[in-house]
Structure 1
Amino acid sequence: MALVFEALGNVILPVVIVAGLGAFLAAKFPIDQLTVSRITLYLLSPALILDVILKTPVKAAEALQLGAAYLLTLLLCLLLGYLIGGRGPEDRRRSLSAGVGIWNSGNMGLPIALFTFGQAGFERATVLFLASFIGMYIFGPAVYTVGRGGGDPLSVLRGMFRLPAIWVAAGAILLRALHVQPPEGITRGVALMAQATLPMVLLALGLQLGSGGWPRLGTRIWLATAARLIGGPLIALACGKLLHLSALNLQVLVLSASMPTAVNALLIAREYHADTQTVAAVATLSTLASVLTIAAVVTLLPFIR
């Protein structure tokens, strides 16, 4: 347990520092947050996807099984978040859906998985990270476009697939399938951009908080946070059991689904002119509260078979 709290401290403290600096900067100077978001969405995030897919060894059968479990968990979490919105404004309901359904399986999920399971669990957590990163850029836009755009299916599809991360992922998977390795100069350039993704994402959260102040934590925000940190792992447990995951795969899935809201959900909300205040509030509160809830999940993991 001490190792878990140490890991959480090592992960969350850098998040607080970088986001805090972003908040301080936004409070002092006017900053174009939409430009920051678009640099991340259209350039840095695709580079991270390309870098991870080209460098990470993935076993096809296991990746498909874990990917299916992740997808089912994601869809149910999105639905849960939408239902939490009740009869409130449609924009808030959609942002609550994104806040519950899109979680931080990368910069938080990966190191916690490594501390908890060792290398075998880390490799499986990497597969889930790939699935979640691709799924986030498909279903994140879908949350804000499905049911809108005049009911035109083409408009919905354009809204879902206009972010380049999906196309880059498809291209990277094709390169892996064909055993094609890009020139070293290109991969180094991609790696440099990939390394800039996380700091920019955290700065974006800080900029949102610094310009808008500490988010208002109403009942819906608390419910969405509970749904993300408690409902998420419970849904993952049910989905993993339904798909007959092995014990280790099931435990890794449950741990991944216990992570707080991904800040990327905020970037997607801003790109689609949605309710960014709600997403920022859920992301902030869930990140802070996750120190306790993740420790509790880790304690219970040995009993999951």
Structure 2
Amino acid sequence: MTGVLEGFATIAVIVAVGWVLADRRILDESAQVNLSRLAFYVASPALLLTVMQRTPLSQVLSTNLVTSLISFVVVVGAYLAIARFRWAGGTLGSRLIGSLSAAYVNAGNLGIPIALYVLGDVAWVAPTLLMQLLIITPVAMALFDSDARGERPTLLRSARRMFSNPITLGAIAGLLIAVFDIHLPRVVAAPIELLGAMAVPSMLVAFGISLRRGPRPATGRGAAHVWTIVVLKTLLMPAVALGVGLALGLRREALFAVVVTAALPTAQNIFTYAVRYRREVGLARDVIFISTFASVPVILAVAALFHWLAGV
């Protein structure tokens, strides 16, 4: 339980720093954009390279990965079905932000500490992390790039965009380093790690700036859209993960890990993508903010339930 609160408290403090800096007019909207660009083009690729090269592939290629992928697809399908009738007419980029907000979990800067303190092992969150970095993110980046250029997505264009995006390149480079057991010289690895360390703080400070300089979360005509996605993220996704995990034979710790991971809030990097591609920035910001708070009681309830079942 302590790990859940510690993970959320760390994020809250850094977001608060961004809020205060914006409130004191030390940083403004231009700083928010520049921090997001820094995270997108430099820090996040470096972080993904560092994370992926240290991820033990033997532990992530498991039923947990399949469960995470199916849960993602089901929740995205539910969102798109609702959005088609309720919020028709959106662009591809808008639908992508909505879909990712509903199903892309904060498996990195929040999932890792929660996996360590709640699940007892960081390896439990690795399948979801791998699935998002190597499957979901490359596809999403290719579609974002096509949308930004006004192109109709095709298999060839998507593949070309996929392998020219810095986020995707960072993840793939890290995977290749891990697969071929390459040991980078310290003079190369140290700068990459240092750059990667900027990713999470940059995203969180930029997020804090947006909370202060933008409208209050979930207000106005878009409130229903925000709350719909929050419900899908914090309630439907862990429920789907529980059902899929049981169907695939997961039990005890493995099932607990899948459900807790699915209950994590929307990842902050969705806000970075929204800013970078200028699509639904307010929606991404509001969903991240509300789902972060809403996921706390959900994760605590899941942990209490599994703890009680283990003692029965």
Q: TM-score, normalised by structure 2?
A: 0.85
CA contact (8 A) 1:260 1:283 kept: yes
CA drift at 1:183: 0.5
Q: Is the 8 A contact 1:66 1:128 kept in 2?
A: yes
Q: 2: distance between equivalents of 1:71 and 1:214?
A: 33
2:125 corresponds to which residue? 125
Q: Deviations over 1:6-50 (max 9, x none)?
A: 323322222222112213333424342333222111211111111
> 1:165, 1:136 → 2: CA distance?
11
Q: Deviations for 1:87-126, whole angstroms, at most 9, x for unmatched residues?
A: 314145443212111111122222222222323xx32223
CA contact (8 A) 1:149 1:156 kept: no
Note the residue ranges of structure 1 that are not aligned, 5 or more in a row. none
1:20 corresponds, among 2, 16, 30, to 16
Instruction: Choose from 55, 66, 69 the match for 1:68.
Output: 66
Report deviation, 1:256: 0.3
Matches of 1:270 and 1:154 in 2, distance apart?
26
Q: Is the 8 A contact 1:146 1:156 kept in 2?
A: yes
- Tell me the equivalent position of 2:268: 263
Aligned partners of 1:103 and 1:262 also within 8 Å: yes
Q: How does 1:1-305 map to 2 (within 5 A)?
A: 4=1, 6-27=2-23, 28=25, 29-32=27-30, 33-59=32-58, 62-85=60-83, 86-88=85-87, 89-91=89-91, 92-119=94-121, 122-141=122-141, 144=144, 149-217=151-219, 218-302=223-307, 303=309
Amino acid at match of 1:70: S
CA distance in 2, matches of 1:103, 1:143: 19
Asked whether the 8 Å contact 1:105–1:259 carries over to 2, the reply is: yes
CA-based RMSD: 2.5
Secondary structure at 1:59 match in 2: helix
Question: Is the CA contact 2:97–2:274 (under 8 Å) kept in the aligned structure 1?
Answer: yes
Output the CA distance in 1 between the equivalents of 2:229 and 2:208.
20
Q: Measure the CA separation in 1 of the matches of 2:263 and 2:157.
A: 33
Query: Which segments of 5 or more consecutive residues in structure 2 lack a partner in the other structure?
Result: none
Deviation at 1:266, TM superposition (A): 1.1
Q: CA deviation at 1:153?
A: 4.1
Alignment partners' CA distance in 2, 1:145 and 1:254: 32
Shift of 1:182: 0.9
Identity of aligned residues (%): 25
Give CA-to-partner distance per residue, 1:119-165, whole Å, 9 cap, x none.
3xx32223432333334422433664688623544444445444222
Post-superposition offset of 1:263:
0.9
1:84 touches 1:220 (CA, 8 Å); kept in 2? Answer: no
Would you say the 8 A contact 1:81–1:99 is kept in 2?
A: no
Greater alpha carbon shift after TM alignment, 6-15 vs 225-234: 6-15
TM-score by length of structure 1 reads 0.86
Counterpart AA for 1:281: D
Letter in 2 for 1:282: V
| Number of residues of Structure 1 aligned to a counterpart in Structure 2 | 297
TM-aligned CA distance change 1:200 to 1:34, over 3 Å: same
| Amino acid corresponding to residue 119 of structure 2 in structure 1 | F
Aligned residues of 2:103 and 2:233 also touching (Cα < 8 A): yes
